[in-house]
């Protein structure tokens, strides 16, 4: 479910003179690239035809999942590194003075990295299972089927409908960093459309 416009936008971003050198980029340009990413993401979001009420239930579920995941990952990263804080500082001081990096220090840091990656993977799977179950309960059978169909499109994976639904949830609601403001905009647009339709129906009586 790799979006084509997002890839094109990333290439354009790289091509902008000076980008990646000092990080300077007009806020307007950043916003435009965000808009391109949103447009591309709507390619897989709009086919579900979510109602404003459904989005109102999905948003808190996503925000709760994001908060729990972030807290767990931060704990996994911070606690172990704090435990060897004094060793890190003393090793840096010795290496700055010209000493060779101790083998046992290297091994210790690599072990911490491996443990963090494993813990992060566990937290990602836990977050996915919980959020997937919550979103499944909000969607209709037809919307679930549409999500599975979209996830199966590239044909590069094999699996059950449940696995493909989880993949859709991960790609659409977890991985995309702008999903919350995007859903909020969609919800607002649907609310305006519903209100306009009500006014038109009343006027037509």
pLDDT tens, position by position, 77-91 = 999 999 999 999 999
What is the pTM for the complete model shown?
0.74
Distance CA 76, CA 80 (A): 7
pLDDT mean across residues, the chain: 86
| Alpha helices, DSSP H, located in the chain | 4-15, 27-45, 52-83, 85-96, 103-138, 141-152, 161-169, 179-203
Torsion over CA: 138, 151, 7, 119 (sign): positive
Residue 111 — pLDDT band, cuts 50, 70, 90?
very high
User: What is the model's pLDDT at position 3?
Assistant: 57
Region of residue 49 (phi > 0: left; psi between -120 and 50: alpha; otherwise: beta)? left
Tell me what the mean pLDDT of segment 138-142 comes to.
97
User: What is the model's pLDDT at position 38?
Assistant: 94
Tell me what the mean pLDDT of segment 151-166 comes to.
86
Least confident range from 3-17, 84-98, 127-141: namely 3-17
Residue 96 — pLDDT band, cuts 50, 70, 90?
very high
* Among 123, 40, 137, 43, CA closest to 76: 123
Token representation of residue 100:
């060779």
Number of other residues whose CB lies within 10 A of the CB of residue 38 = 19
Torsion over CA: 161, 164, 169, 174 (sign): positive
Residue 201 — pLDDT band, cuts 50, 70, 90?
low
């Amino acid at each position: 479910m790799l979006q084509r416009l997002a890839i094109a936008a990333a290439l354009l971003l790289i091509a902008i003179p000076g980008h990646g050198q000092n990080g300077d980029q007009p806020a307007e340009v950043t916003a435009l690239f965000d808009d391109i990413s949103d447009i591309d993401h709507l390619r897989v979001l709009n086919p579900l035809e979510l109602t404003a009420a459904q989005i109102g239930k999905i948003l808190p579920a996503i925000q709760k999942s994001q908060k729990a995941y972030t807290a767990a990952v931060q704990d996994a990263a911070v606690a172990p590194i704090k435990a060897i804080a004094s060793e890190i500082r003393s090793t840096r001081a010795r290496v700055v003075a010209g000493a060779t990096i101790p083998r046992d220090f290297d091994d210790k840091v690599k072990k911490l990295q491996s443990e963090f990656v494993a813990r992060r993977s566990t937290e990602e799977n836990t977050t996915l299972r919980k959020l997937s179950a919550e979103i499944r309960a909000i969607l209709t059978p037809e919307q679930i089927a549409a999500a599975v169909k979209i996830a199966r499109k590239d044909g590069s994976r094999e699996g059950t409908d449940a696995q493909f639904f989880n993949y859709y949830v991960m790609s659409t609601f977890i991985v995309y960093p702008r999903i919350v403001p995007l859903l909020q905009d969609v919800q607002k647009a649907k609310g305006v459309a519903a209100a306009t339709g009500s006014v038109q129906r009343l006027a037509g009586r």
